Structure formats: C-alpha cells, structure tokens
Amino acid sequence: MIISRAMRASTPRASVFRARARWTRASSTRRCVSSASSVSSAPSTTEDVDAAVAFLLDAVGASARVRCGENADGVRGLLATKNIASGERVLAVAVPERALVDDPSDSTRTWSRQLARRVVETRRDAGGTGGDDDDEAREEFMRAYAMTLPAFGAPAIGLANDPKCVEIIAAGLDDDEARRDATTFAEQIETSFQEEKTLDDALSEDEWRWAVSLVHSRTFRIENERDDGPPRRAMVPAADLINHTSAPSEVNADWSLEDGEFTVRATRDVKEGDELLFSYGDQSDRHFALFYGFIPKRNDFNRVKLFENGREALDWYQALCGVPPDDEVWHREKERVVKLVCEKYGTYAKDPKTGLRRRFIQDLVLGENGFVSDSMLLLLEEMCGDEEMAVAAVRERAKEIHADMVAATEEIDAALAPLDEYSRELIHAYRRRRVDILAQVV
C-alpha cells in the first residue's frame, strides 16, 4: 500500500501564523468549552506533554535522529539532532497497531466519523475512564499520543471548526468557494454529532467538534498499492509532528507504508538543526485556513475563481463587448464554444437548478505569478478569435474583482470584528493573498 500525498493531512505549524497552543493542555474558553456532560481530565503540564512527545519519538525509533523543538519562526516541529542522509529512515509506526485507523467495511459511518469516535475514546481512556484494550504497551503508547494532541477545551483547529467563524464567512466573505466549503462542513459536523449523540449520551458538541477538527487536520490517506481494496485513513502518532511547506525546494522528507509500518525517510540530506518538512498536498490557502488554521508562507497553488462556469464567462464577455443579451448569433457561438471547451476540460457536477449531474467548465481561474488556467484562455480565445484579446479580457475581469474586493474591505473588517484576533488576522491575510494575485495582472 501507499499513502496518497494529495490527501495528506497533519497539524500545520510551518505557517504565516503560529498555530494555537499545540503543546499545552491548559484549557481555554475561547472556542471549545467543556460541558458537564463531557468526560474531562486534569490538564497536563508542558513538562508532561514534552515527556510524552519524547516517549513517542523513542518508541518509533526517531529519538536518535530528531527532537521536537521550535524552528526559526517559533513553531514546534521535528528538528534533526544529527546529519540525516537522503533515504535514511527517520521513524516507523506500526499500522494499525499504533495508529487510529478507520474500517472501510463499515458502511454505516464515514471514515471521518469513525476516526473522530476513536479520538474521543482515546482521550477518555487517557483521562482514566478505562478502556477494553488488553495490550498494555499499546495503551501506554496511545495515552502518550493523547497527551500530545491539542487539548480539549483549547480552540478548535481551522476556521471551519468555529461556528462563529462559519456564520460570519457564510454571511459576508467575498469568496463563494470559502462560503460553500465552510457551510457544507458545518452541516456535516452537526449531522454526524446528532448521529453520534444517539449512541453516546455523554458526548457534547464541543467534544465532537474538537475531535472532528483533529481528524481533518491530522489524517493520512492510505491507498492499496495493488488496487485490490479500498483506501484507509489513519492518524499516525509522531509522524504528525512534521510540519508542512508548500515550497517544493524546502521539502526534505517523505513517507510510505513499508511492511506494515508507516515509514518516514529523508528525501535529501538534512543537516543537524534543520527542520524536517513534508508537503501536505497541492492545496490552496482556502483549504489550509478553513481546516488547518494557517496559510503557508508561500503557496503556488493559490487560485482566484474568475467565473463560476463557462456560460457565465461568455455572458460577461458579451456584455463587455456591448452586445445585446438576446443576440442570436452570439447565442449560437457561445453554445459552440462552451461545448468545445467542456469536451476538453469539463467536469461533472450537480446542477443547482435541476439537481442533475452535468458537465461544467469549472477551472476558470487566475493563479500566482499571472497563471491563467488553460480552460479560461481557450474559452475566451475561441470566443474572440485572438489570444491577445483573450488575455486583455482576463485582465479586465481581474480588474473588476480586484476593485470589488478593495471596496468591500471596510465592510468585511466590520463583519469580522466579533471574532478573536487570530481568526480576524487569518482571514485578512487570506484576502490579501487573493487581492495580490489579482493585482499582479491588473
């Protein structure tokens, strides 16, 4: 089996913003507040958590090569304690014996719901409520893992896990994709909580939201290499201490499943004192902000959607050219162009008007360094018959969106006022990145 990098997830800390209290167990009422119905345990000290991290690293064979410490940005991660050669093994974790793993044969619950339930159980077992696992060594290992997880009662990870953030994003953020992602995720959390509550009366919504936030920020997707079985998802202790970078030149570690062990190896020589860094996948800032609670220092996968679909784009271009909307010649030409581009770049999606699945041209985007998607260029080139005119049209559209975003800044700032400072600054930084992408071609 192999692990899909596109679906890689772990708690992010290599970011523009320092992640929230990753290692301390002191409770916070800012987002997740324990309720009387929840199982609770006494907070552990920072020294307790550091000891638990050291125990995990030793147990997975990593303590001779790495330690957990702060990088140059003040963010906790794994740092090399010696020179590590390219290809050298850094750590290995037995899966599923020393990981939280879903069961693909369970058709009654999604993988995220299964793992969230396992997180809740692991936390409660660590709190001394008891478990039914007779393997004492595994129990000790998982208790240590539970201690290293972000504390229940601390702020949930990611904007999408904060109901107040979701409410404000849905009501006024000038990003349709972020609004859809945040509201859809919020609905999924609510639905899964209601289902779990019927099975566990002691479960609080805060506890469930906390568990789900960990699942969606720390999970590996494990593919079956022979393609003779479904993929599995796993939360892997110690491996999730490695931070993310979106800069390919900075990635110096990789992972795979080797003989039943989740194995991390250096992909290039790592000098003593350097931080080990993964790539969590080709994701945009929107994904990282919503589900990880940070945005990378650099991210070449950022995109700004210029149009929802091909027909919207060509209707806009028709208006730009001053052609009446009922012009039959333009109508026929637009249909021809949409069909041509859809055949090459279209993807199936649900039509909100009919509820049926149909092909749409969706990747109509502008990216970092003036990148324009092939589908966007082809659509306009076919319609106007000239590459330079197509580029000029993209620039005009970017100018419109840029002006709208700048004009909306004051109103959005006011809407964000009820949020905590961290969330406000994260959303501000996310919007600034989008404005900067548009400004590059305006």
Indicate which CATH number applies to the domain containing 109. Answer: 3.90.1410.10
Q: Does one domain contain both 262 and 390? A: no
Higher pLDDT, 299 or 24: 299
Q: Does one domain contain both 279 and 256? A: yes
**Exposure pattern of 12-46 as b/e (b: 16+ CB <10 Å)?**
bbbbbbebbebbbbebeeebbebeeebbbbeebee
Q: Does one domain contain both 34 and 129? A: yes
Q: What is the pLDDT of residues 80-125, one digit of tens each?
A: 999 999 999 999 999 989 999 999 999 999 999 999 999 999 988 8
Q: Does one domain contain both 139 and 268? A: yes
Alpha helices in 68-197 (DSSP H): 111-126, 136-148, 163-172, 176-197
Poorest-pLDDT segment among 96-100, 356-360, 417-421 = 356-360
Please tell me the distance from the alpha carbon of residue 271 to that of residue 275, in angstroms, as a whole number: 9
Mean of all residue pLDDT scores within the chain:
86
Q: In the listed set 269, 297, 325, which residue is the last one of a domain according to the structure?
A: 297
Q: What's the domain count of the chain? A: 2
Percent of the chain at pLDDT > 90 equals 70
Residue 352 confidence class, pLDDT cut points 50, 70, 90: confident
Phi, psi of 179 (to 5 degrees): -65, -45
Max Cα separation, the chain?
76
Q: Does one domain contain both 222 and 309? A: no
Q: Does one domain contain both 140 and 62? A: yes
pLDDT value, residue 155: 76
Q: Does one domain contain both 95 and 153? A: yes
Q: Are 359 and 348 in contact (CB under 8 A)?
A: yes
H or E element in which residue 414 lies: helix 387-416
Higher pLDDT, 398 or 71: 398
Poorest-pLDDT segment among 44-48, 376-380, 407-411, 427-431 = 44-48
Q: What is the pLDDT of residues 250-287, one digit of tens each?
A: 999 998 888 889 999 999 999 999 999 999 888 999 99
Q: In the listed set 297, 317, 335, which residue is the last one of a domain according to the structure?
A: 297
14 pLDDT higher than 70 = no
Q: In the listed set 250, 279, 297, which residue is the last one of a domain according to the structure?
A: 297
Residue 416 confidence class, pLDDT cut points 50, 70, 90: very high
Residue 104 corresponds to which amino acid? P
Q: Does one domain contain both 263 and 384? A: no
Q: Does one domain contain both 368 and 418? A: yes
pLDDT value, residue 213: 94
Q: Does one domain contain both 225 and 339? A: no
Q: What is the rounded average pLDDT of the residues 175-197?
A: 95
289 pLDDT higher than 50 = yes
Give me the domain span that covers residue 228: 2-297
Q: Is 285 exposed, middle or buried (0-12, 13-18, 19+ CB in 10 A)?
A: buried
Q: Does one domain contain both 344 and 399? A: yes
pLDDT value, residue 226: 63
20 pLDDT higher than 60 = no
Comparing C-alpha atoms, which of 229, 285, 276, 282 is closest to residue 257?
229
pLDDT value, residue 2: 28
347 pLDDT higher than 90 = no
Q: Does one domain contain both 284 and 325? A: no
